[in-house]
């Protein structure tokens, strides 16, 4: 059994307080939250936490101010610092103040759980026997630290304390049902049932019976009264997956139920009052279906009170390796051999376009856990053992690779550039990449400046000036014969 403690979470973003607080509570910790330095000070005395998790930017000051003094008074307290100022300077300040750990935002809940376990002196207290954290499915069943996923987390946190209808949008395999499970398991209905139904998997003639139930003798094979999904979810959450595949006639009756809060079984006459939260999901373009008269507009508005758009995996590539390792850990917990990824294999995963999204990655990691003979999965295993069009990283997704390289360069320069507000990073980046572009373009046309200018989309005089500025000789930029 993992050791638990008292945790104080201080952040002025209510979403972070809710998600972090609920996830840690589900790990068995006692958690209180605050949104300011003033509230933090009061709770440090009245709550006496074992671990303080504090943001840096708070409404009434710098969250790092006073940390050293707090630790002098409470030497057994461990401080974990969170900050959106992902700079070297912030990390150094946190360390100098005596912080136990520093986590830049956006952070992953698994990392925070490990940091809390370490701060409590339990090492891998939040992990299973094989070292894989149980937080994603015991707390928030989603993994990712990308900005896109952080926005999803914030939206989830904002709807936990209400019963507004939610429409989860996203491609197949992006994790729409996991979002629904997270909202239910962290929300005020978590002690009641979570019931899911996939509209695309049910024959049209049986959808109403599945949703609303049926009476004995209502149709051939109806041997006894059977409760539908609405009644089964009484007091809890009903997840309507693939809502875009629901037939129009069933949509009409569903709308009536949502408006009245009552269901009438197929073959029945007495309505039954139901109290459920509705979460719907689809990978379809519902506004387009409305234009084609295939989806009711009034039902769309009823369901789409709070939309949550899940990004495709190719749109959050920074989460690919984090997810891959998470799925390998889960596979090990399920009895499969424990595996790790080589750097080359990780690069291949980053280069792949993931048409099947997170579900495809999960299935891939499970297969690799079985197929790879070595403890470390190599790139050749990824290429040769799987029926996937895995393009070598050095030839795949050049735009993505360039974007990632620019992003990493910018992060480094911004970290180095603290205290130097007039560094002109835009000019620095152009000085790095523009000469290369000019050289390669001129070489491709054997030094012909007119053709090069046309390919670059600039006039010849501009090209000449740039060549002069960078000290490039067009006569030397010819393809060797």
Whether 461 is in a domain gets the answer yes
Look at residue 153 and tell me if it is in a domain. no
Residue 123: pLDDT over 50: no
Q: How confident is the model at residue 214 (pLDDT cuts 50, 70, 90)?
A: very high
pLDDT at 163 over 60: yes
Higher pLDDT, 443 or 197: 197
Please give the pLDDT value at position 104. 76
Whether 147 maps to a domain, the answer reads no
Provide the pLDDT for residue 130: 35
pLDDT of residue 1: 36
The predicted structure's pLDDT at residue 433: 82
* pTM (two decimals): 0.61
Q: Whole-number mean pLDDT of the chain?
A: 83
The enclosing H or E element of 263 equals strand 262-263
Residues 319 and 232 in one domain: no
The pair of three-digit structure tokens given for residue 55, joined into one six-digit string: 């943001």
Q: Where are the alpha helices (DSSP H) in 261-336?
A: 286-291, 297-303, 320-333
**Residues in contact with 38: Cβ distance below 8 Å, sequence separation at least 6, in sequence order:** 60
464 vs 481: CA distance, rounded Å: 24
> Which domain does 369 fall in, by range?
314-384
Residue 404 confidence (pLDDT) = 65
The tally of domains found in the chain comes to 4
Bridge partners, 280 (sequence order): 167, 240
| CATH number of the domain residue 339 falls in | 1.10.8.60
Residue 374 has pLDDT above 80, yes or no: yes
For residue range 6-25, list pLDDT tens digits in order.
999 999 888 888 888 988 98
Which of 107, 140, 173 is at the close of a domain?
140
Tokens 């519902």 correspond to 286
Examine the pLDDT at 189 and tell me if it is beyond 70.
yes
Q: Which range, of 273-282, 393-402, 471-480, averages the lowest pLDDT?
A: 393-402
Q: How confident is the model at residue 420 (pLDDT cuts 50, 70, 90)?
A: very low
pLDDT for position 199: 94
Q: Which of 352, 384, 416 is the last residue of a domain?
A: 384
Residues in CB range of 461: below 8 A, 6 or more apart: none
Task: Kindly indicate the confidence band of residue 65, based on its pLDDT and cuts at 50, 70 and 90.
Answer: confident
Euclidean distance between CA atoms 13 and 284, whole angstroms: 32
Co-location of 446 and 363 in the same domain: no
Local structure of 286: helix, strand or coil: helix
Burial 323-360 (b: 16+ CB within 10 A, else e): bbbbbbbbbbbeebeebebbebbbbbbbbbebebbbeb
What mean pLDDT is predicted for residues 272-281? 96
Is 41 a domain residue?
yes
Structure confidence by residue, pLDDT tens digits, 89-112: 666 677 778 888 888 777 777 778
CATH of the domain at 38: 3.40.50.2300
Residues 354, 412: one domain? no
Instruction: Give CA–CA dist 291/174, Å, rounded.
Output: 26
Residue-level pLDDT at 133: 36
């Amino acid at each position: 059994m993992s050791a638990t403690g008292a945790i104080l979470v201080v952040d002025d973003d209510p979403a972070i307080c809710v998600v972090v607080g609920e996830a840690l509570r589900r790990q068995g910790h006692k958690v209180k939250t605050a949104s300011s330095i003033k509230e933090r000070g009061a709770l440090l005395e009245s709550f006496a936490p074992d671990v303080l998790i504090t943001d840096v930017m708070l409404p009434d000051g710098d969250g790092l101010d006073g940390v050293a003094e707090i630790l002098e008074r409470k030497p057994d307290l461990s401080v974990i610092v969170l900050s959106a100022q992902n700079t070297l300077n912030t990390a150094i300040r946190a360390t100098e103040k005596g912080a136990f750990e520093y986590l830049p935002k956006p952070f992953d809940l698994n990392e925070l759980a490990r940091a809390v376990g370490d701060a409590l002196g339990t090492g891998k207290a939040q992990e299973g026997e094989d070292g894989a954290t149980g937080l994603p499915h015991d707390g928030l069943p989603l993994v990712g630290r990308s900005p896109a996923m952080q926005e999803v987390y914030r939206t989830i946190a904002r709807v936990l304390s209400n019963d507004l209808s939610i429409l989860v949008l996203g491609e197949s395999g992006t994790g729409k049902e996991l979002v629904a499970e997270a909202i239910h398991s962290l929300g005020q209905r978590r002690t009641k049932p979570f019931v899911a139904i996939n509209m695309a998997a049910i024959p049209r003639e049986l959808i109403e019976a599945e949703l609303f139930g049926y009476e004995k003798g209502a149709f051939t094979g109806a041997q006894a009264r059977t409760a539908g999904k609405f009644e089964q979810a009484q007091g809890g959450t009903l997840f309507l997956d693939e809502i875009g595949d629901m037939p129009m006639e069933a949509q009409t009756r569903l709308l009536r139920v949502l408006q009245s809060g009552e269901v009438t079984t197929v073959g029945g006459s007495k309505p039954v009052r139901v109290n459920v939260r509705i979460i719907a999901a689809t990978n379809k373009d519902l506004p387009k279906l409305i234009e084609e008269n295939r989806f009711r507009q009034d039902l769309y508005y009823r369901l789409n009170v709070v939309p949550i758009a899940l990004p495709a995996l190719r749109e959050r590539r920074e989460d690919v390796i984090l997810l891959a390792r998470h799925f390998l850990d889960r596979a090990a917990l399920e009895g499969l051999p424990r595996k790790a990824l080589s750097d080359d294999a990780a690069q291949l995963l980053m280069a792949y376009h993931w048409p099947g999204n997170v579900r495809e990655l999960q299935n891939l990691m499970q297969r690799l856990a079985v197929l790879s003979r070595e403890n470390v999965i190599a790139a050749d295993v990824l290429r040769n053992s799987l029926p996937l069009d895995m393009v070598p990283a050095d030839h795949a997704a050049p735009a993505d690779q360039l974007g990632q390289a620019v992003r990493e360069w910018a992060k480094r320069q911004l970290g180095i550039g603290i205290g130097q507000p007039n560094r002109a990073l835009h000019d620095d980046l152009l000085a790095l990449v523009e000469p290369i572009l000019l050289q390669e373009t001129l070489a491709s046309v054997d030094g012909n400046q007119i053709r090069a200018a046309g390919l670059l989309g600039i006039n010849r005089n501009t090209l000449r000036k740039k060549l002069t500025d960078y000290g490039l000789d067009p006569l030397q930029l010819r393809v060797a014969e």
